[in-house]
Chain A
Amino acid sequence: MTRFAATFAKPRTALVAFITAGDGNTAANLDALVAGGADVIELGMPFTDPMADGPAIQAANLRSLAKGTTTADIFAIASAFRERHADIPLVLMGYANPMTIRGPEWFAAECAKAGVDGIICVDIPSEEDAELGPSLRAAGVDLIRLATPTTDPARLPAVLDGAGGFLYYVSVAGITGLQQAAQASIVDAVARLKAATDLPVAVGFGVRTPAQASEIAKVADGVVVGSAFIDIIAEHGDAAAAHVEAFTRTLADAIHGAKEIAA
Chain B
Amino acid sequence: MTDLPNSLRTGPDARGHFGQFGGRYVAETLMPLILDLERHYRAAQADPAFKAEFDYLLKHYVGRPSPLWFAERLTEHLGGAKIYLKREDLNHTGAHKINNCIGQILLARRMGKTKIIAETGAGQHGVATATVAALFGLPCTIFMGAVDVARQQPNVFRMKLLGAEVVAVESGAKTLKDAMNEALRHWVANVHDTFYIIGTVAGPHPYPELVRDFQSVIGDEAREQILEAEGRLPDMLIAPVGGGSNAIGLFHPFLDDADVEIVGVEAAGEGLDGKHAASLAGGRPGILHGNKTYLLQDDDGQITEAHSISAGLDYPGIGPEHSWLHEIGRVRYEPVTDAEALASFQKLTKLEGIIPALESAHAIAAAERIAPTLDKDKIIIVNCSGRGDKDIFTVADALGVAL
Which A residues are within 8 Å of any B CB, using their own CB?
A: 47-55, 58, 62, 65, 70-71, 95-101, 122-125, 127-128, 131, 145-152, 155, 159, 170, 172-175, 178-179
Give the interface size class of chain B: 35 or more
A53 to B299 CA separation, bound complex (whole angstroms) = 23
Name the 9 nearest CB pairs between A and B, nearest first.
A101-B301, A174-B189, A98-B301, A97-B301, A96-B287, A148-B29, A146-B28, A48-B303, A97-B287
**Interfacial residues of chain B within 251-301, with CB under 8 A of chain A in the complex:** 286-290, 292, 295, 297, 299-301
Q: Is A159 touching B28 in the complex (CB atoms < 8 A)?
A: yes
Q: Is A48 touching B27 in the complex (CB atoms < 8 A)?
A: no
Return chain B residues, CB-CB under 8 Å to A128. Answer: 23-25
Q: Is B27 touching A101 in the complex (CB atoms < 8 A)?
A: no
Q: Which residue from chain B places its CB closest to the CB of A174 in the assembled complex?
A: B189
Return chain A residues, CB-CB under 8 Å to B33. Answer: 150
Q: Is A124 touching B25 in the complex (CB atoms < 8 A)?
A: yes
B176 to chain A, nearest CB (A): 12
B141 to chain A, nearest CB (A): 16
Q: Is A47 touching B302 in the complex (CB atoms < 8 A)?
A: yes
B329 to chain A, nearest CB (A): 24
Q: Is B26 touching A100 in the complex (CB atoms < 8 A)?
A: no
A69 to chain B, nearest CB (A): 9
From B63-71, B177-185, B379-387, the one touching the partner chain is B177-185
Check B31 for interface membership: any CB of A closer than 8 A. Answer: yes
B27 to chain A, nearest CB (A): 5
Residue of A58, A97, A101, A147 touching B171 (CB-CB under 8 A): A58
Q: Which residue from chain A places its CB closest to the CB of B184 in the assembled complex?
A: A51
Q: Which residue from chain B places its CB closest to the CB of A65 in the assembled complex?
A: B302
Q: Is A131 touching B303 in the complex (CB atoms < 8 A)?
A: no
Return chain A residues, CB-CB under 8 Å to B112. Answer: none
If A51-B181, A97-B288, A152-B32 touch, whether A125 touches B191 (CB-CB below 8 Å) is no
If A49-B172, A101-B286, A127-B24 touch, whether A175 touches B185 (CB-CB below 8 Å) is yes
A146 to B188 CA separation, bound complex (whole angstroms) = 14
B316 to chain A, nearest CB (A): 9
Return chain A residues, CB-CB under 8 Å to B24. Answer: 125, 127-128
Check B77 for interface membership: any CB of A closer than 8 A. Answer: no
Residue of B25, B29, B292, B302 touching A173 (CB-CB under 8 A): B29
A174 to B189 CA separation, bound complex (whole angstroms) = 4
Residue of B32, B289, B303 touching A150 (CB-CB under 8 A): B32
A47 to B136 CA separation, bound complex (whole angstroms) = 38
Check B15 for interface membership: any CB of A closer than 8 A. Answer: yes
Return chain B residues, CB-CB under 8 Å to A175. Answer: 185, 188-189
Return chain B residues, CB-CB under 8 Å to A101. Answer: 286, 297, 299-301
Return chain B residues, CB-CB under 8 Å to A95. Answer: 287
Q: Which residue from chain A places its CB closest to the CB of B287 in the assembled complex?
A: A96
Q: Which residue from chain A places its CB closest to the CB of B300 in the assembled complex?
A: A71
